[in-house]
A and B are shown apart, each in its own frame.
Chain A
Amino acid sequence: MADEPLVLGIETSCDETGVGIVRGTTLLADAVASSVDEHARFGGVVPEVASRAHLEAMVPTIDRALKQAGVSARDLDGVAVTAGPGLAGALLVGVSAAKAYAYALGKPLYGVNHLASHICVDQLEHGPLPEPTMALLVSGGHSSLLLSSDITSDVRPLGSTIDDAAGEAFDKIARVLDLGFPGGPVIDRYAREGDPAAIAFPRGLTGPRDPLYDFSFSGLKTAVARWIEAKRAAGEEVPVRDVAASFQEAVVDVLTRKAVRACKDEGVDHLMIGGGVAANSRLRALAQERCEASGIRLRVPRPKLCTDNGAMVAALGAEMVARGRAASSWDLSADSSLPVTDPHVPGHGHDHVHEAGAGNLYS
């Protein structure tokens, strides 16, 4: 069992209710119910709307994942759940479900880190993670460069955004261009027909004295908005495709440049890219090009595994079981600001499976 643990993972840190099932590094099921349509008219994720949707969707999504995987809940070796970081109320729904599920089935519970899960998911696509792995995590909530020598115990942040997350910048520019929410996919689509060199937008934090691995997208966002407003003020048509392409190029240029630089500086020959923005086609292409030029092997999961899902949580949970990491306690809480350096939330004192066995006659 220890080599190929069968684990169910639950993810509710934002607006996707995700339930995934993996056996070791093999993906068996990836069921996701999204409330994104309910948020669209608000131009962003509304926490209370997301929490309500998680409660409604959880049981049907667990059912769907079990059917997809063709396994019985009794055969699980553990239940993993995103303990943080994320929206507090949304996380709590998933943590409550995972605790109840694990307890009722008499299985160990693993509260894991959302960011480490985004990295670990690539095991389902490209096999075991090289050690160390450099990871670029980019989404609506985070933009970070992380170096991990063991995804279950050692994740070191090298840099992160000092203002907006990359995905946030896509959402904001999409709004300025009246393209709706979420902004990532629609900007990607328009950009394909535009000229990325049409407008020279600024590259944040790339000066000689700027921090090497930190990001900033707030200045870029303002520069793009001003450029559009100036066009509109002059009564000219805004070249949406060129703006989208040039803006996107500015974002992915900085992301890939810094990621490749970090790999070289740390002597790491693997780069993993995860998070919702990793679904961006230009980011994938430019990263491929630059990694090839530098002799770095690029690992990017398929887009569906880049966005939030339960399979990534299950993947990290399975790794926790395989490596014999301590399970979480029944009083596990959701931690909206769980540090990236904590890949999981181990229980205190003695092993809780044993505790349940003693208290409730489970063996």
Chain B
Amino acid sequence: MLLLALDTATPAVTVALHDGTDVIASSTQVDARRHGELLLPAVDRVLAEAGLRLDAVTGIVVGIGPGPYTGLRVGLMTADTFGLALGVPVHGVCTLDGLAYAADIEKGPFVVATDARRKEVYWATYADSHTRLTDPAVDRPADIAERVAGLPAVGAGALLYPDTFPSAHEPEHVSAAALASLAAGKLAAGEELPAPRPLYLRRPDAQVPRNYKVVTPK
């Protein structure tokens, strides 16, 4: 097994190679505005570091979010197209699950929250690092304060809103290394991973215009 994992659902552009036992190379750069530019060179670098070429990969693992859409799509489109060109399966993993896994918490419950911008967070609660309790959701921190009260929390969304998440701590962003390890474990156990479709959680902002603007002066 050789998995190439990537995630662009948070400010981190992160790539890792996993041989079924261990992560053999990885790269993480944090730059929320340059996912498109950074991802392919990072893939190239990680492969070079491992001394491997892309067509040795047997599967792609990609973070499906939730996350800011423009960046999120960079990873998904890249993964989809790699899958097409190489003829290998593309597996989706919820980005919040990757963060939960990286948090390495044996006994929860705890919260994973990432920055959803517009003063909101993407979040879910976990029983432990492998077990999600709630569906990923997007909310204003104040609106979920009661539900997350007293729980430890990880992720940039938690670190950003200490009023709601007073005990927030690292990791801040997801890492493809964690994503890959999580996916490798699940695949080895014969588990199905979700399709690589984005978790947007919000509808596109668009308003149906009521009517055209009258131009005749009154």
Contacts and interface: CB of A to CB of B under 8 A. Distances in A.
Interface residues of B, number: 43
B161 interface: no
Nearest to B83: A59
Nearest to B51: A361
- Could you say which of A100, A103, A356 has the most chain B C-beta atoms within 10 Å of its C-beta? A100
A100 B40 contact: yes
A93 B73 contact: yes
A194 to B, nearest CB: 20
Contacts of B45: 359
Contact of B80 (A48, A58, A92, A103): A58
Contact of A52 (B34, B43, B55, B200): B200
Given A52-B198, A101-B84, 5 more contacts: A43-B208, A51-B73, A55-B76, A93-B73, A96-B81
B77 A73 contact: no
Given A55-B198, A331-B40, A101 B81 contact: yes
Contact of B85 (A42, A55, A101, A222): A101
A97 B41 contact: no
A92 B55 CA distance: 24
A182 to B, nearest CB: 14
A103 B43 contact: yes
A271 interface: no
Interface in A151-194: 172, 175-176
A103 B40 contact: yes
Contact of B48 (A43, A172, A333, A359): A359
Contact of B37 (A52, A226, A333): A333
Contacts of B70: 51, 88-89, 92
Interface string B101-115: 000000000000000
A96 B39 contact: yes
A272 B212 CA distance: 34
A43 B39 CA distance: 35
Closest 8 interchain pairs by CB?
Answer: A104-B85, A48-B204, A100-B81, A96-B77, A46-B206, A359-B48, A330-B40, A360-B53
Contact of A48 (B44, B76, B206): B206
Contacts of B198: 52, 55
Contacts of B135: none
B209 interface: yes
B46 to A, nearest CB: 10
B9 interface: no
Interface of B: 34, 36-41, 43-45, 47-48, 52-55, 69-70, 73-74, 76-86, 198, 200, 204-209, 212, 214-216
A332 B41 CA distance: 10
- Counting contact residues on chain A (CB < 8 A from B), the size range is 35 or more
30 contacts: A43-B209, A48-B69, A48-B206, A51-B69, A51-B73, A52-B200, A55-B77, A58-B80, A73-B85, A89-B73, A92-B36, A96-B73, A96-B81, A100-B40, A100-B77, A103-B43, A103-B54, A104-B81, A222-B215, A229-B214, A229-B216, A330-B40, A331-B38, A331-B40, A331-B41, A333-B36, A333-B37, A360-B53, A360-B54, A362-B53
A111 to B, nearest CB: 11
Nearest to B86: A104
B53 A59 contact: no
A233 interface: yes
A41 interface: yes
B78 A331 contact: no
Interface string A58-75: 110011000000000100
B206 to A, nearest CB: 4
Interface string A103-118: 1110000000000000
Contacts of B82: 100, 104
- Could you say which of B36, B74, B77 has the most chain A C-beta atoms within 10 Å of its C-beta? B77
B69 A89 contact: yes
Interface string A245-265: 000000000000000000000
A59 B81 CA distance: 7
